Chain A
Amino acid sequence: MKIKVLVVVGLFLGVLTVGCAKKKVVVPATTGDTSVSEQTQGSEIKGLKELQEKRARELQELKEKELKEKQAKEASKEEALKIIGERIFFDFDSYELKPEARQVLQKKAEVLKAHPDLMLIIEGHCDERGTEEYNLALGEKRARAAYEFLILLGVEANRMQIVSYGEEYPLDPGHNETAWAKNRRDEFKIVKK
């Protein structure tokens, strides 16, 4: 009877040993072949550790790469927004694009092509000197001048909208030529698709 009990306990322990191998449970040696078993187990553990370290390194690298990419993307977006937000200026009673305005618009076109998710509102503004109705028309012509130039540079027309505010929103509330020069402008506002 005692022998039967011992056999059952032994079998049960054996099953336990096999079932929990992955959990690195060290079963006390019951046989005389101890050195071979220890060596095998030691190499397995070492391999596992290396694998774990490798995986951790890879994960870290991946994270760093993602972070860098994200930062680069953000920087690029920031730069893009900066370029898009750059104003262009006009002469009195004129809607002709000056050479410097064309350069600014060229940069904008590149950014817009690189970021197809961006949509643009072009606002035309005037100084206070003209009359309100004429300034609404002039603001419209100024906004349209930029709009048409961007189309020529390959930006899709359906990504842009224009609006004239005439003299309603001056950048500089002053009543002198310095203020007026700042107020005769196009502003570019981003809207997301």
Chain B
Amino acid sequence: MIKKIVFILLAGIFFNFQSLLALTINIYGPGDKKINLFIAKPFVAEQFRVDDKLVSTLKDKLGLLPFLRIIPAEDVLNKGEIKGPGLVDIDFRKFLLSRVDVLLTINLKPGSNWGEIELRAFDVLRQQLIVGKAYDLQSEAQLPLALRSFCGALLQQFTGRDSLFSEPIVFVHKQRQKQALYEIYADGYGLKKLLEVDGIIASPAWDFRGEKIVFTLIEHGRHFLGLWDKQSNKLEKHLLPGNSIISPIFTPEGEIVVSLDVKGNPDIYLLSKDFKIKKTLISHWAIDISPFFARNGEKMVFTSARLGNPHIFVWLKKENRIRRVSYEGKYNTSAVLSPDGRLVVFSRLLAEGHRIFVHDLESGQEKQISFGPGNDEEPFIASDGYFVLFSSNRSGKYKLYLTTINGDGPYLVDTQELNAYSPAWVHKLE
């Protein structure tokens, strides 16, 4: 009897575990697990003529999530037809037999304004609703907004975090005489010009609250520290000691760290609130640039030419110790750290051009995640430690591309006709 009870309990635990696995995904794993997702034919009231657009937009957004496999209707019994969008209307058995893990339903109906859309995601195995959202739309233009919001909620459900749809990216657009900073989300939503200057903009970086952007500004033959405030839309320009201001970045505490040539050589300094040098962090006769902090501020990666060629190093704050990260290649630059401080993503120059690599600081393993053609440069990891952005001229023009630490995709970030350089994501503090 006891054996029987133990068996039932174990079986219960096992099945529960299996069902949990079907709903979440370990994005830090090898990246081989896929969730099969099916989008049922939308239920759309007669006055709306948007069914194709609804499904295609949803597919575009969800197509950015490499752990999802979108199942075509032909692969599902009875083409996956359902009686209605709610739980009680669905016969889950045919989806289960067709190996569908998640079923999405759409219901667009008349509302108090333009219309109301209900979006639901069901766990087929457990026959349960996992994400359900309803949006009261003022106009048709709000439809994509509702769809991306739902996709964000779904991503949150699967991975525990939504960097892709909720955290903005800043990038540089270069013209002959002027350069500008733009904001965009990784799915191409919300392209917006933030500022434009008659000079050069380099290395923009958000603060950890997503309120300010710091960058190098070169105007009238001089380097300035540019500081832009999102709320006031004001640009401050600060002259700093030395001639060159390179790769400024915010610390998690909101201070600015930057490479300056105060001693005739680019070294890394911490600035005070009044833009004076507060502390020297890294000093060497060689070039030291591109500092980047983990979310807890305990680790900082940087690029140094102290060994003759540019290589990646990590500075361990507590021990005040520097550790070499890259050993391969002769030109490793633009390193960023995952928020947990485990992964270093950087660019390495190979014979065929720059490529993006991921280095695991714990295991020491290194993996190439981009393969060109052209140059893949300036990688930036999302705050989920999973998605990676980089700029590439693979199409002949520099554009932004989205990949993951496993090298999925890459997917073009639609910046319309604009060329795009130096992408930087917000790393919001939790």
Contact = CB atoms under 8 A, between A and B. Distances in A.
Interface of A: 93, 121, 123, 129-134, 136-138, 140-141, 143-144, 148, 161-166, 168, 189
Contacts of B243: 140, 143-144, 161-164
A163 B221 contact: yes
Interface of B: 200, 202-203, 216, 218, 221-223, 243-244, 246-247, 259, 261, 264-266, 287, 289-290, 303, 305, 309-310, 331, 333-334, 347, 349, 354, 377-378, 421-422
Contacts of A121: 221
B289 A133 contact: yes
Contacts of B310: 93, 130, 134
A140 B261 contact: yes
B221 A133 contact: no
Contacts of A133: 202-203, 246-247, 259, 289-290, 303, 333-334
A78 B406 CA distance: 60
A143 to B, nearest CB: 8
Contacts of A137: 244, 246, 259, 266, 287, 289, 305
B377 A131 contact: yes
A93 B307 CA distance: 13
A93 B308 CA distance: 9
B333 A140 contact: no
A164 to B, nearest CB: 5
Contact of A166 (B202, B287, B309, B331): B202
B347 A140 contact: no
Contacts of B422: 132
Query: Helix, strand, loop or mixed for chain A's interface?
Result: mixed
A46 to B, nearest CB: 66
Contacts of A165: 200, 218
A132 B244 CA distance: 13
A168 B222 contact: no
Nearest to B174: A168
B221 A130 contact: no
A134 B333 contact: yes
A175 to B, nearest CB: 9
Shortest 9 CB-CB contacts between residues of A and residues of B = A140-B244, A131-B333, A137-B287, A137-B266, A133-B247, A134-B333, A136-B246, A131-B334, A137-B289
Contact of A130 (B218, B264, B331): B331
A141 B286 CA distance: 10
A128 to B, nearest CB: 8
Contacts of B303: 133-134
A161 B221 CA distance: 9
A134 B218 CA distance: 15
A137 B259 CA distance: 9
A138 B218 contact: no
A140 B264 CA distance: 9
6 contacts: A123-B221, A131-B354, A132-B202, A132-B422, A133-B246, A144-B261
B244 A164 contact: yes
Given A131-B378, A140-B261, A166-B202, 8 more contacts: A132-B202, A133-B303, A137-B244, A137-B266, A137-B289, A143-B243, A148-B264, A161-B221
Contacts of B222: 163
A161 to B, nearest CB: 7
A118 to B, nearest CB: 16
A130 B303 CA distance: 13
B354 A136 contact: no
B249 to A, nearest CB: 11
Contacts of A130: 310, 331, 333, 349
A141 B243 CA distance: 11
Contacts of A134: 287, 289-290, 303, 310, 333-334
Q: Which of B202, B244, B347 has the most CB of A within 10 A?
A: B244
Nearest to A141: B287
Contacts of B287: 134, 137-138, 141
A183 to B, nearest CB: 15
A152 to B, nearest CB: 14
Contacts of B377: 131-132
B422 to A, nearest CB: 7
B111 to A, nearest CB: 49
Contact of B378 (A132, A140, A148): A132
